[in-house]
């Protein structure tokens, strides 16, 4: 596959991966450019690649992580998350109304950032529309079964954290 065709075919996916990691439009654009520069530098390897989309996704993921490491965000405290959830509940809103607020979206993003890296990475990539579990596995260099397990564990941990913050009784 020609390099220009590869860029055209996967530019949206690369940007979405970068944005899912960085959560900033400008940083995502920069990371996408860095990813395609790496693809260009390694274009000679394209003939050996069996899954071009997964290969490009892996490069994009690593470029975004590199950029993220350069600007480490402040750690999120469990107490701060709990206060945020409680303030939403104290407003007298229904669970559906709470779920649709930008505050809840921000809190969910913070909860996701507290997950272990392996779970967070698998969940983040699996929510990017263009990547299925097999493609996430290629991007992260592991098996599809491992990705399915990580996504399941990530979702379970998010639910448990939300339940604790909301004071929901968890059935045994």
Q: 60 with 6: CB under 8 angstroms?
A: no
Report the CATH number that the domain containing residue 38 is assigned in CATH: 1.10.1740.10
**Which has more confidence, 81 or 71?**
71
Q: Tell me, yes or no, whether 102 and 129 share the same domain.
A: yes
The DSSP symbol for 170 reads: P
Residue range(s) defining the domain that contains residue 16: 3-70
Q: Tell me, yes or no, whether 62 and 87 share the same domain.
A: no
Radius of gyration of the chain (CA): 18
The answer to whether residue 46 sits within a structural domain is: yes
Of 45, 70, 95, which residue sits at a domain end? 70
* CA neighbor of 33 nearest in space, from 22, 49, 44: 22
pLDDT for the residue numbered 84:
67
Q: Tell me the mean pLDDT in the region 21-36.
A: 90
Q: How many domains is the chain built from?
A: 2
CA 44 centroid distance within chain: 29
Q: 88-112: per-residue pLDDT in tens?
A: 666 776 767 766 677 777 778 888 8
Q: 125 with 56: CB under 8 angstroms?
A: no
Q: State the Cα–Cα distance between residues 119 and 153, nearest whole angstrom.
A: 7
Q: State the Cα–Cα distance between residues 60 and 157, nearest whole angstrom.
A: 26
Q: Tell me, yes or no, whether 127 and 49 share the same domain.
A: no
* CA neighbor of 139 nearest in space, from 31, 76, 65: 65
Q: 113-161: per-residue pLDDT in tens?
A: 889 989 998 998 887 555 889 888 888 889 999 999 999 999 999 988 8
**pTM beyond 0.85:** no
Q: State the Cα–Cα distance between residues 113 and 31, nearest whole angstrom.
A: 19
């Amino acid at each position: 596959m020609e390099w220009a065709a590869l860029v055209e075919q996967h530019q949206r996916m690369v940007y979405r991966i970068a944005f899912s990691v960085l959560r900033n439009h400008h940083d995502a654009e920069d990371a996408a450019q860095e990813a395609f520069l790496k693809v260009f530098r390694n274009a000679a390897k394209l003939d050996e690649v069996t899954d071009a989309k997964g290969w490009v996704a892996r490069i994009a993921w690593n470029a975004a992580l590199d950029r993220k490491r350069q600007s480490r965000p402040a750690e999120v405290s469990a107490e701060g998350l709990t206060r945020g959830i409680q303030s939403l509940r104290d407003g007298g809103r229904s669970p559906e109304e709470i779920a649709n607020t930008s505050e809840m979206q921000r809190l969910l993003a913070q909860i996701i950032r507290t997950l272990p890296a392996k779970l967070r990475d698998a969940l983040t990539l699996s929510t990017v529309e263009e990547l299925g579990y097999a493609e996430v596995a290629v991007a992260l260099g592991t098996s599809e079964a491992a990705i399915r397990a990580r996504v399941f564990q990530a979702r379970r941990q998010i639910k448990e954290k939300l339940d604790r913050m909301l004071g929901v009784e968890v059935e045994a």
